[in-house]
Structure 1
Amino acid sequence: MEISEMNLFGREHIKVFKNRPKAITEILSDGVQQFGEKVAVATEEHELTYKELDDLSSIAAANLQQAGIEKGDRVAAVIGNRHEFPIMVFACSKIGAIMVPINVKLAMEEIEYILGHSKPKVIIVEQEFTKKVRQAAEASGSLEAGSRLFEIEGENTFSSLLEQNAELTEAAISEEDGAFILYTSGTTGRPKGAVLSHINVIHSVMNYKYVFQTDDTMKTLIAVPMFHVTGLVGQLLHVLYVGGTVYSMKRYQNEAYIERILKDQINFLFNVPTIFIMMSTSEKFQNHSFDFVKKVAFGGSPIYQQTFNMLKQAFPNAQLHNAYGSTETTSPATLMPVSYPEAKVTSVGRPVAVADIKIMDSEGNECEPGESGELYIKGPMVVKEYWDNPEANLSSFTDGYWHSGDLGIMDDEGYIYIRDRKKDMINRAGEKIFSIEVEDVLKSHPDVVEAAVIGIPDPVFGEKVKAFVVGPSLDPDDFSMLKEHCRKSLAKFKVPEEFEIIESLPRNASGKILKNTLKQVGGEKNA
């Protein structure tokens, strides 16, 4: 694994893997060469070998060219976890088009903004979402501007793109060319379109391979959406890069997910911790052996010690890897190595080999080991820019480092611990409270399944701590008991002053807790 340096996106001294594929298309062409007739993708309804995926994506690419799509044009896709999704990933890559995967759960107005902002020439939509997407396309002016809409299983059908009636001219791809625009969740303000380049994606799949030590025996099951960076890069493209098989489900359902793992002997799992917690409540999960699982990865929210212990017991032969990253880092910025001390299980691991991460205080000074500050991240996996957003580009990058907005520490062995989102830190009369610290303590109580902590307005202290807790056996009479539990581990000013029982925590498509939604609820009740 040789590493060299290059200038990338105008940024100097970027560490890169010396021997690397130059474009996403090489992931598939190499796979065809080595594993042609092996199943590459298996959805709930279709199976595609590496060769079939290559052939179909070439046909779709040629027909997109016939429809007027050129290098750099955007192709929007409102598609769930179906076989058409990976076909479009490689079809767009072959002609240099930029794929814009759109969250199928978004409301019409949200899709309208993304279409209006990214200006796609083609929109591909799954039939059940056609009505809201057509409305969004009309409202954004996309159709009037000449965008063509192809509906999967509808009238102007996607199948027409899979008919052999055009000759493909593959585009000359530069590593810095955009491959995807992924719109961030937009928990505050308008979502930003992160431009993932070919070199970003290539380094991310290589980072996963080298740290997780994955190979062509890997079988993963994607239950998170493929339009999210973990499903797209951490699973789909990563597993195809190593020559494995990607299984997928349209929607996560606990029992069905467990059954699929058992049926197909899935040996590489990658989920937010919540899914693993849900799995552990199932009798089917408790009564079966999962000793065939080799790799278990988790990220997107904190891992608690008791969740880690459960994973260790449930998957006795698996390597457990915490992962930290974002859309802007094309998935991983830090990964847990294959072996690590038990004392570091709540760490998100070390920076990947090509990453440069520093912890910065509020004055712009680099922190010493153990001091808390914001993570600044640099490397070939960090996106070049936000699409058509000069203001965000100016405020989000300094000397090639992306400002993560996450607060954390790095210990003297290089392990990183995420303490909080910068915007989620609670300020009570000048005392800084990390919500994750309080959540960790609440989660250690046997009756609490999940917890989320926010700051709500207080006329005296500015903010006070409120906890939302999930637990089937909890009722308001237990709040004093939970307070007492917190007092054993936390300073008095960190103990929640208010509690609220909630059936489930609100999450975005990537599984991250929507604290803004909780703040609205908390604020309304406090008004």
Structure 2
Amino acid sequence: MIGSSTVDGMLRRSAARHPDRTALLFADRTWTYAQLDDAVTRAAGVLLELGLERGDRVATYGRNSDAYLLAYLGCARAGLVHVPINYALTGEELAYLVADSGSRAVLVDPSLRPALDAARLSVRTVLALRDEDDSLLTRASQGPVAELDVDVADSDLVQLLYTSGTTSRPKGAMMTHRSLVHEYLSSIVGLDLTETDEPLHPMPLYHSAGMHVFLMPYLAVGATNHLMEAPDIPEILRLVEERGLRSLFLAPTVWVPLAQHPDFATRDLSSLRKAFYGASIMPQPVLLRLQDALPELGFWNCFGQSEIGPLATVLRPEEHAERSESCGRAVLFVELRVVDETGADVPPGEAGEVVYRSPQLCEGYWGKPEETAAAFRDGWFHSGDLVRVDEQGYLTVVDRIKDVINTGGVLVASREVEDVLYTHPAVAEVAVIGTPDERWIEAVTAVVVVKEPVTAEELIAHAKQSLAGFKVPKRIHLVDELPRNQSGKLLKRVLRDDLERVD
């Protein structure tokens, strides 16, 4: 039985409303809603034929494709727990996620099979996602559609959504059908997602934003979705122009080079009406350049984290003019507070930790009761994000609590320093961290990728024009690239470790 409030139930209702409408385009394949819904049922049957049982975990190790979506929704319809794995992970990191989740099977892109074999996993069942005769895609694309004898409840786990692990080992956030359906509804309402949007999906589906804020909500409203294997910038620009696409979500790490790409000035992007980006790492100078180049394009600022599905707040286009640095207000199903170290509410304008209460929240961390208890305290989930909130409920991200720099006993938000350095024309990317210092406790240190020649002294002089003296970087390192995971998140812990070894 398929519950109406399950993840796959949302696709089933779209198929009932719009059976012949195009649901998904990928490569040279096109799926109507009816075809996609039937393929999900077949995919669920394939997974159950492998001997998997309700509640078993199924790891998926692949790039974006229609087969990847079938894996996720097939797991949902079969009562299994989907475990998305970053396709850039190899070796011990890959093995850890499969072992920690207790996955009984792995679905894999054939091109990634060598990395899977090299990880020496103790998993008996491995099935190709696509590009093979016996793959999940091939078997789900043909044959009869049998009724499934599976009772799926909205309280069942549907995904272990592993955190990015920017500060520690990844933890598996236990997402239920109910939590993700609430998240999809918050996304639809908060981002004005409609069936006429014609969205392009270049960002990885193993990440919660690409799958749960955009692709799944757009399937729920009945839109026609254009899926890319990876966020290739020339291809993004080509598809927007040639297909007249209207909606685009990109991480700031893709928006930045897209705005600087030579094709950006020559492609006709006038069809675009909705642009979405993530809050805390979007450089304000880059956003202003995009707004100037595309004045008809509305920008939505999305903020949250994996444990909440991940959308928690939204800044709408009409709110950008007055609050361009804010990440907006809470979405439909999220209640939030900003608290101090004792758990007491802080006054408007003062920095504190944002905590959440929401049906979108995960059930806790898989196999980690102590970490779960530490994050869920007094009925609220503690995010680890340092923010300010004004009297109207608009949040502004100050930093991750662990990224605030204690220099000489004074706290400095790394983001404030980064935004100033981004205004220098030679700066392509920048990350600011604290490094150990005998005099200052931590020295404000900038790691900069440049696009034209510049010296550290010139960058320091530039920062002094806008920042108080204690906020100005005491050290600047010029590098070729910044370490990031495939979600686009900056790995500041890697920078700290590398600079500690250098220093």
Q: Could you tell me the TM-score, scaled by structure 2's length?
A: 0.95
Q: Which residue of 1 aligns with 2:502?
A: 525
Q: Which residue of 1 aligns with 2:207?
A: 228
Q: Does 1:514 align with 2:497?
A: no
Q: Does 1:491 align with 2:468?
A: yes
Q: Which residue of 2 aligns with 1:316?
A: 295
How far is 1:165 from its partner? Answer: 6.9
* CA 352–131 in structure 1, closer or farther in 2 if over 3 Å, else same: same
Q: Which residue of 1 aligns with 2:188?
A: 209
The runs of 5 or more residues in structure 1 that have no matched partner are: 1-19
How far is 1:24 from its partner? Answer: 1.0
Question: In the aligned structure 1, how far is the partner of 2:149 from the partner of 2:276?
Answer: 35
How far is 1:390 from its partner? Answer: 0.9
Q: Which residue of 1 aligns with 2:459?
A: 482
Question: In the aligned structure 1, how far is the partner of 2:173 from the partner of 2:288?
Answer: 35
* CA 481–400 in structure 1, closer or farther in 2 if over 3 Å, else same: same
Q: Which residue of 2 aligns with 1:158?
A: 136
After the TM superposition, which of the residue ranges 361-370 and 162-171 deviates more from structure 2? Answer: 162-171
Question: In the aligned structure 2, how far is the partner of 1:315 from the partner of 1:362?
Answer: 42
* Structure 1 residue corresponding to 2:477, chosen from 500, 505, 508: 500
Question: In the aligned structure 2, how far is the partner of 1:279 from the partner of 1:229?
Answer: 22
Per-residue CA shift, 1:134-164, capped at 9, x if unaligned?
343x44x322xxx444463358643564353
Per-residue CA shift, 1:164-190, capped at 9, x if unaligned?
378332533322211111111222332
How far is 1:365 from its partner? Answer: 1.9
Return the letter of the residue paired with 1:307.
V
Q: Which residue of 1 aligns with 2:146?
A: 167
Per-residue CA shift, 1:247-289, capped at 9, x if unaligned?
1222222212211111222211111122112111122211233
Q: Which residue of 2 aligns with 1:245?
A: 224
Does structure 1 conserve the Cα–Cα contact (< 8 Å) formed by 2:405 and 2:411?
Answer: yes
Q: Which residue of 1 aligns with 2:22?
A: 39
Matches within 5 A, 1:406-445: 406-445=385-424
Question: In the aligned structure 2, how far is the partner of 1:33 from the partner of 1:54?
Answer: 9
Q: Which residue of 2 aligns with 1:125?
A: 108
Q: Does 1:74 align with 2:57?
A: yes
Per-residue CA shift, 1:59-112, capped at 9, x if unaligned?
111122222222211111112101101111221111211111111110121111
How far is 1:342 from its partner? Answer: 1.3
* CA 291–155 in structure 1, closer or farther in 2 if over 3 Å, else same: closer
Per-residue CA shift, 1:22-67, capped at 9, x if unaligned?
1112211111112212221112242211111111111111122222
How far is 1:482 from its partner? Answer: 1.5
* CA 159–30 in structure 1, closer or farther in 2 if over 3 Å, else same: closer
SS of match in other structure, 2:353: strand
How far is 1:291 from its partner? Answer: 2.3
* CA 314–170 in structure 1, closer or farther in 2 if over 3 Å, else same: farther
Does structure 2 conserve the Cα–Cα contact (< 8 Å) formed by 1:94 and 1:170?
Answer: no
Q: Does 1:343 align with 2:322?
A: yes
How far is 1:201 from its partner? Answer: 1.3
Does structure 2 conserve the Cα–Cα contact (< 8 Å) formed by 1:211 and 1:338?
Answer: no
Question: In the aligned structure 1, how far is the partner of 2:463 from the partner of 2:137?
Answer: 58
Q: Does 1:88 align with 2:71?
A: yes
How far is 1:354 from its partner? Answer: 2.0
SS of match in other structure, 1:358: strand
Q: Does 1:188 align with 2:164?
A: no
Question: In the aligned structure 2, how far is the partner of 1:312 from the partner of 1:151?
Answer: 39
SS of match in other structure, 1:179: strand
Question: In the aligned structure 2, how far is the partner of 1:159 from the partner of 1:359?
Answer: 46
Return the letter of the residue paired with 2:475.
E
SS of match in other structure, 1:152: coil
Does structure 1 conserve the Cα–Cα contact (< 8 Å) formed by 2:279 and 2:301?
Answer: no
Question: In the aligned structure 1, how far is the partner of 2:254 from the partner of 2:320?
Answer: 25
* Structure 2 residue corresponding to 1:267, chosen from 236, 246, 253: 246
Does structure 2 conserve the Cα–Cα contact (< 8 Å) formed by 1:59 and 1:168?
Answer: no
Q: Does 1:385 align with 2:385?
A: no
Question: In the aligned structure 2, how far is the partner of 1:294 from the partner of 1:170?
Answer: 43
Question: In the aligned structure 2, how far is the partner of 1:77 from the partner of 1:168?
Answer: 24
Question: In the aligned structure 1, how far is the partner of 2:377 from the partner of 2:23?
Answer: 40
Does structure 1 conserve the Cα–Cα contact (< 8 Å) formed by 2:26 and 2:226?
Answer: yes
Does structure 2 conserve the Cα–Cα contact (< 8 Å) formed by 1:31 and 1:240?
Answer: yes
Aligned residue pairs, count = 500
Q: Which residue of 2 aligns with 1:354?
A: 333
SS of match in other structure, 1:205: helix
* CA 159–207 in structure 1, closer or farther in 2 if over 3 Å, else same: closer
Question: In the aligned structure 1, how far is the partner of 2:464 from the partner of 2:232?
Answer: 37
Q: Which residue of 2 aligns with 1:10?
A: none
SS of match in other structure, 1:71: coil
Q: Which residue of 2 aligns with 1:65?
A: 48
Question: In the aligned structure 1, how far is the partner of 2:69 from the partner of 2:279?
Answer: 23
SS of match in other structure, 1:58: helix
Q: Which residue of 1 aligns with 2:443?
A: 464
Does structure 2 conserve the Cα–Cα contact (< 8 Å) formed by 1:79 and 1:126?
Answer: yes
Question: In the aligned structure 1, how far is the partner of 2:297 from the partner of 2:196?
Answer: 14
Q: Could you tell me the TM-score, scaled by structure 1's length?
A: 0.91
Does structure 2 conserve the Cα–Cα contact (< 8 Å) formed by 1:119 and 1:142?
Answer: no
Q: Which residue of 2 aligns with 1:23?
A: 6
* CA 207–338 in structure 1, closer or farther in 2 if over 3 Å, else same: farther
Question: In the aligned structure 2, how far is the partner of 1:281 from the partner of 1:365?
Answer: 44
Does structure 2 conserve the Cα–Cα contact (< 8 Å) formed by 1:356 and 1:377?
Answer: yes
Question: In the aligned structure 2, how far is the partner of 1:109 from the partner of 1:222?
Answer: 30
Question: In the aligned structure 2, how far is the partner of 1:345 from the partner of 1:424?
Answer: 22
How far is 1:414 from its partner? Answer: 0.8
The runs of 5 or more residues in structure 2 that have no matched partner are: none
Return the letter of the residue paired with 2:369.
P
Q: Does 1:142 align with 2:95?
A: no
